[in-house]
Amino acid sequence: MAKPILVLKFGTASITTTDGELDELVIEEIARQVALIHKEYDLVIVSSGAVAAGKKFLKNYGGTLNEKKAAASVGNPLLLNTYAKYFTPHGIAIAQSLCERHHFSNRDQFLQLKRTYEELWASNIIPIANENDVVSNLELKFSDNDELATLIAVGFGAAQVLFSTSVPGVLDGNGKVITELDTSDKKILLLANKEKSASGLGGMTSKLNFARLANQMGIRVVIFGIRTDNGIIKALEGSTGTLCLPQKSDLSARKKWLASGSLVRGRIQIDAGACKALKDRHSLLAVGIKKVLTGFENGEIIEILDEDNNAVAVAIAKIDSTTLTKDTKVKNLEVAHADNIVLL
């Protein structure tokens, strides 16, 4: 039988010291705990830290985009070598997986990535994923590795995602860990401290946003402190950190990919009648379009907004925006077929 898939995400702040150096004690501990659960899961580790590992080798590093790319090119092999150093004694081989946004936005490329991971898992190898910072286009970058971890989890049908942090979990106003969250309520985002870590891109807002998306797709999420004793093991047991409760999802794998991994190219606003039609699982017709907000081509992914500018769905466009603008009132002109629409 296939093993359940587990995605472990470690941010820069989780695996570096206060001086910004890789914290080998933490990575050694990650390897020890992962070795204990390796036989039970097909694992993906999503790890930041390449820029942090490489920036000290650049003269007068100032954090510009080009300097970050250069630091990542130096730091990527250092990061992987550090993981290998501590996984090898446990008899576990690792593989590098540098990802870009188009690997998820293009369905064929995404399936190739999935098949590669499955081949690695068949040989008990753990892929360590990170964004390919060296070549990633600024406009098409992941928002952070919380997004990358979530796209992998949703696209591959993971059972769980564990987000490690430098704090013990999601904290309430008194600084105490909230042990359980229902992320179906958007108000949970107000719990997050708006500050992000000095060393990384993400923060608690990012983790809660992507935990919410994963939960909508039926995936269990735990946000936990990496420096908690046996934190990974305890997070799996539900005895540490903040458990974000999964919701029931009957979406097909393809629709989950569309809802989470696709790259939105265009945006349209629809009226209340069209909104109701979508919720009733009908196709989107041109007559229900109020405004084309961003242009798109036939076959591209569009985001569908209601009259209050709330995103209600994503879809694969059946026509281009130019045709739509010309023929808005054409009777029964289909903008997106029901099979290619996913409600958010």
Give the fold, CATH level 3, of 5-253.
Answer: Carbamate kinase (3.40.1160)
Q: Is the pLDDT of residue 194 over 70?
A: no
Beta-strand relationship, 264-270 and 311-316: unpaired
At residue 141, the 3 state secondary structure works out as: coil
Question: Could you identify the residue written with the tokens 């879809």?
Answer: 315
Could you tell me if 126 and 94 are in contact, meaning their C-beta atoms sit under 8 angstroms apart? yes
- Rounded to whole angstroms, the Cα distance separating 100 from 286 reads 33
Are the CB atoms for 221 and 235 separated by under 8 Å?
A: no
Distances (CA, A) of 54 to 6, 59, 78, 112, 189: 28, 11, 8, 30, 33
pLDDT tens digits for 133-184? Answer: 777 665 445 667 888 999 899 889 899 999 999 889 999 888 899 999 998 8
3-state secondary structure of 90: helix
Q: Two tokens at 236? A: 């799996």
Higher pLDDT, 257 or 38: 38
On the CB side of 24, CA atoms within 13 Å amount to 7
Is the pLDDT at 117 greater than 80? The verdict is yes
Here the tokens at position 135 are 């070549």
How do beta strands 301-305 and 289-294 pair? Answer: unpaired
CATH H-level superfamily of 264-343 = PUA domain (2.30.130.10)
Instruction: List pLDDT tens digits, range 271-323.
Output: 999 999 999 999 999 999 999 999 988 888 888 999 998 888 888 899 999 98
| Every domain of the chain and the residues it spans | 5-253, 264-343
Reported as a single tens digit per residue, the pLDDT across 203-227 is 788 888 889 889 988 999 999 999 9
pLDDT cut 70: percent of the chain above it: 92
Over residues 69-77, the mean pLDDT reads 92
Number of H helices, E strands in the chain: 12, 15
DSSP 321-344: HHHHHHSTTSTT-EEE-GGGEEE-
Model-level pTM? 0.81
Collapsed DSSP state (helix, strand, coil) of residue 233 = helix
- Structure tokens, 131: 């964004």
The pLDDT score that the predictor gives to residue 136 is 67
331 Cβ partners below 8 Å, 6+ apart?
287
Sequence-ordered list of residues with C-beta below 8 angstroms from that of 53, at least 6 positions apart, any chain: 21, 22, 71, 74, 75, 76, 78, 79, 82
**Cα angle at 297 between 294 and 298, to 5 degrees?**
130
> Tell me, what amino acid is at 64?
T
* CA 259 and chain centroid, separation: 12
